[in-house]
Amino acid sequence: MLKDFKAFILRGNVVDLAIGVAIGAAFTAVVGAFTTGIITPLLAIPGDSASFSHFDFTISGATFAYGLVIDALINFLIVAAALFFFVVVPVNKLMARRKTEPEVESTTKDCPECLSSIPLAARRCAFCTASIG
């Protein structure tokens, strides 16, 4: 059992995932500092506050800190945008460039009546018996 566990831990996917989580945590800290230090003050230029974290309301003695949610939402949007533009888009372009598989021509077409796949040479649909022109 110990041998199986060792093989599992040393698999590439587990190591890659662990590295990804560590880098993601560090990246989130950087984005949080960027948001707190630059973005939030920019958003506060028209207003009078450099942070949303102090916005709250109280109902029956319970305090709802909706400003913390706004700050977290801004952080999330920046992390998501940065990951999309700096990771997803370049990887998609790289994968498209590396794609060497030739495009395979389809040997079927869709029936205009029932949308079933039928051979290109068919003159009548085998499913709904519609005439294919």
Instruction: Indicate if 84 and 110 belong to the same structural domain.
Output: no
% of residues, the chain, pLDDT over 90: 4
Q: HEC string of the chain?
A: CHHHHHHHHCCHHHHHHHHHHHHHHHHHHHHHHHHHHHHHHHHCCCCCCCCCCCCCEEECCEEECHHHHHHHHHHHHHHHHHHHHHHHHHHHHHHHHHCCCCCCCCCEEECCCCCCEEECCCCECCCCCCECC
Number of domains the chain is built from = 2
Task: Give me the pLDDT at residue 64, please.
Answer: 92
Task: For residues 129 and 114, give the distance between their C-alpha atoms in angstroms, rounded to a whole number.
Answer: 10
Task: Give me the pLDDT at residue 113, please.
Answer: 87
Query: What are the tokens at 60?
Result: 């029956």
Task: Give me the pLDDT at residue 50, please.
Answer: 62
Instruction: Indicate if 30 and 78 belong to the same structural domain.
Output: yes
Q: Look up the pTM and report it.
A: 0.51
Name, in order, each residue with C-beta under 8 angstroms of 71's C-beta and a sequence gap of 6 or more.
35, 36, 40, 51, 52, 53
Instruction: Indicate if 90 and 111 belong to the same structural domain.
Output: no
* Residue 44 and residue 50 in contact, taking contact as beta carbons nearer than 8 Å: yes
Task: Identify which has the larger pLDDT, 45 or 113.
Answer: 113
- Given a cut of 80, whether residue 102 has pLDDT beyond it is no
Provide the domain limits for residue 68: 2-101
Task: Give me the pLDDT at residue 48, please.
Answer: 66
% of residues, the chain, pLDDT over 70: 91
The string of pLDDT tens digits covering residues 8-34 is: 767 667 777 887 888 888 888 888 788
Work out the average pLDDT over 72-91: 82
The string of pLDDT tens digits covering residues 70-81 is: 878 887 888 788
Query: What are the tokens at 21?
Result: 């989580």
Instruction: Indicate if 132 and 79 belong to the same structural domain.
Output: no
Instruction: Indicate if 88 and 113 belong to the same structural domain.
Output: no
